[in-house]
Amino acid sequence: MGLVTCGLALGYGGSRLTFFPLLGLATGAVLRGRVLGLTVLGLSALGGAIAAHHEGWGALGVVYGTFLSGMVTAAILALSETVRELRATRQELARAAVEQERLRFSRDLHDLLGHTLSVIVVKSEAARRLAPRDLDAALAQVADIESVGRQALVEIREAVTGYREASLAGELDRARGALTAAGIEPAVRQSGPPLPPRTAALLGWVVRECVTNVIRHSGAAGCDIEVRGAAERVRLVITDDGGGGVGSAPPDGGPPGNGLTGSGLTGLAERLAAAGGTLVSGPAPGGRGFRVTAELPLDEDLVQAEHAEHTEHAEGDGR
């Protein structure tokens, strides 16, 4: 660095004191941080002292030129490095966003189609069994299949655009109908304060996935769904009395495992964990059937605000 700077200084000719501003420029191109500042200050002082000895007031120009050339060069190069880092970070964020969106769509498509196709299969089997002895009942099942298919198209469009959110109340109603159509006796109970929309949506996805798996894999006669809200947390418990369980079935069609395999409950567990919740599955008490327990924290301020708004609307309607 010194040799290059000396060569540039000699090439410029004129005052030999141009050496120090050029040395400051080279220093700014190489050094960073505290070392840069101390080195540039030292060079400026040295150049100023030599200039003062030979040229008097010309020392101020040497000090200023040395300091400015070093710091400005360092600032320009640091800015260039920052721009490169920002570009790399932006590309990485774009890749992460694409991957996250791909994962979201895959997960939503699994949740939507798994439930819908299970209901269609159950109702198709019911229509086939009813057709020989009760044509009207069979046609009612066919009408339900058409309705479910149309609703699935709407939900898939919403999933594609990213606006699809499950509703706990809607999923509980659909669960009753789907379980009943499959010959499984539903028991649905809900208690506690109103739930924030995000919490209700997450629990709605859990209900949809678990009920789908009960219908497909459990061979149960009954399914119990209970939502219990408290001051700080809400718990959803889904229990069947079958031999298969509400866990996702393995790819080979064998007996289900602990319910947290595949892209169903595993994806739900990840969603709940991201919201500070948990998802636990395993054999039901007594050794028969399967149970899934989902817990989520409640945003108390949000719950109270929603409850106050609901009360205000109710009072307004009463007037």
Query: In angstroms, rounded to a whole number, what is the distance separating the alpha carbons of residues 316 and 173?
Result: 28
Query: In angstroms, rounded to a whole number, what is the distance separating the alpha carbons of residues 2 and 138?
Result: 94
Predicted pLDDT of residue 208: 86
In the chain, where are the structural domains located? Answer: 2-91, 165-175+185-319
Percent of the chain having pLDDT more than 90?
Answer: 12
Query: In angstroms, rounded to a whole number, what is the distance separating the alpha carbons of residues 240 and 292?
Result: 9
Note the pTM of the prediction, 2 decimals: 0.54
Which strand ranges, in their side-by-side order, compose the sheet holding 290-297? 185-191, 222-229, 233-240, 290-297, 278-283
Q: What is the mean pLDDT of the chain?
A: 75
pLDDT over 70 at 315, yes or no: no
Q: Cα separations (Å) of 266 from 107, 225, 238, 260, 300?
A: 10, 20, 16, 5, 28
Confidence of residue 101 (pLDDT cuts 50, 70, 90): confident
Residue 156, CB-side half-sphere exposure with 13 Å CA sphere: 13
Q: Is the domain defined by 165-175+185-319 classed in CATH 3.30.565.10? A: yes
